[in-house]
């Protein structure tokens, strides 16, 4: 699922939790739970080259930032408390780890290999939830509509 959706869910979650630690943890869990829902970008994005993936990631982060600026403008900048920021970091962490996992595959040094091995079990878990747990593929376009509906729902709640 796109980072924009995960991060906005982090904003929702952070609003209900008492401290940054639980916010981070629940944000993290929310990422895995939402990735279980078939959302159309699992296979398509998985097939991209490294450069293609980098572009997709840059666009994803840019839309995330734009979405946050719009939230601050149309809602209130006060939503971004330290607790909310902790929840957002938890909610987007698995995809950052996925990127580091993928990149560390390309680097040929001891640090990169250690890093890759360290992230491996988490990334396998992430991939399993994403692709194998509910192995129903929906078209990318339908997934996009679904994710926009999720995003709109979250905007209403915030
Ligand atoms: Zn993910």
- List per-block mean pLDDT (blocks of 10 residues) for the chain, which spans 158 residues: 95 96 98 91 72 87 96 90 97 94 88 93 91 83 93 95
Q: How far is the CA of 126 from the centre of ligand 1 (A)?
A: 6
pLDDT at 35: 92
- Selection from 93, 60, 81, 77 nearest residue 13 by Cα: 81
Residues bordering ligand 1, an ion, CB closer than 5 Å: 35, 94-95
Q: How far is the CA of 138 from the centre of ligand 1 (A)?
A: 16
pLDDT at 140: 87
Q: How far is the CA of 42 from the centre of ligand 1 (A)?
A: 9
- Selection from 64, 42, 44 nearest residue 52 by Cα: 44
- Selection from 28, 26, 38 nearest residue 138 by Cα: 38
Q: How far is the CA of 16 from the centre of ligand 1 (A)?
A: 22
Q: How far is the CA of 56 from the centre of ligand 1 (A)?
A: 13
pLDDT at 44: 63
> Alpha-carbon distance 112 to 105, whole Å?
7
Question: Whose structure tokens read 């078939």?
Answer: 38
pLDDT at 45: 66
Q: How far is the CA of 157 from the centre of ligand 1 (A)?
A: 22
Tokens of 95: 């995809």
Tokens of 89: 């970091």
Q: How far is the CA of 77 from the centre of ligand 1 (A)?
A: 26
pLDDT at 153: 96
């Amino acid at each position: 699922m796109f980072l924009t959706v995960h991060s906005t869910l982090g904003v929702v979650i952070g609003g209900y939790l008492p401290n940054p630690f639980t916010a981070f943890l629940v944000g993290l869990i929310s990422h895995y739970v939402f990735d279980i829902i078939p959302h159309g970008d699992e296979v398509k994005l998985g097939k991209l080259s490294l450069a293609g993936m980098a572009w997709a990631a840059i666009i994803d982060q840019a839309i995330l930032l734009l979405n946050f600026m719009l939230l601050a403008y149309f809602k209130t900048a006060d939503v971004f408390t330290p607790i909310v920021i902790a929840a957002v970091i938890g909610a987007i962490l698995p995809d950052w780890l996925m990127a580091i996992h993928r990149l560390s595959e390309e680097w040929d040094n001891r640090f990169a290999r250690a890093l890759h091995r360290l992230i491996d079990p988490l990334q396998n878990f992430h991939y399993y939830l994403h692709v194998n747990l509910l192995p129903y593929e929906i078209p990318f376009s339908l997934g996009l509509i679904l994710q926009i509906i999720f995003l709109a729902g979250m905007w209403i709640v915030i």
